[in-house]
Amino acid sequence: MSVRSAFSALLAAAAIAAAPASAQTLTGTWQITSEGRRGSVTQTLTLTQDGSALTGTI
């Protein structure tokens, strides 16, 4: 995973985690596609939300 992809995923998760408490849960499996020098790369992001704690793996 490139630093750009990791930063994009982290930024998106942080923005969504800052949403109001009434927002839906982020728990689930997400597909992330980014464009690089060698074409597009699709990665799977798995998130688990427990209250205000958000954890995940790529």
The pLDDT tens digits of the residues spanning 17-52 come to 666 655 578 899 999 898 888 899 899 999 998 888
Quickly state the pLDDT bin for 12 (edges 50, 70, 90).
confident
CA distance 46 to 58: 6
Q: Residue 43 carries which side chain, given as an amino acid letter? A: Q
The confidence score (pLDDT) of residue 7 equals: 72
What sections of the chain are H helices per DSSP?
A: 3-17
**Higher per-residue pLDDT: 52 or 4:** 52
Quote the domain boundaries for residue 21: 3-57
Q: What integer pLDDT is reported at residue 36 of this predicted model?
A: 83
pTM over 0.75: no
Q: What's the total number of domains in the chain?
A: 1
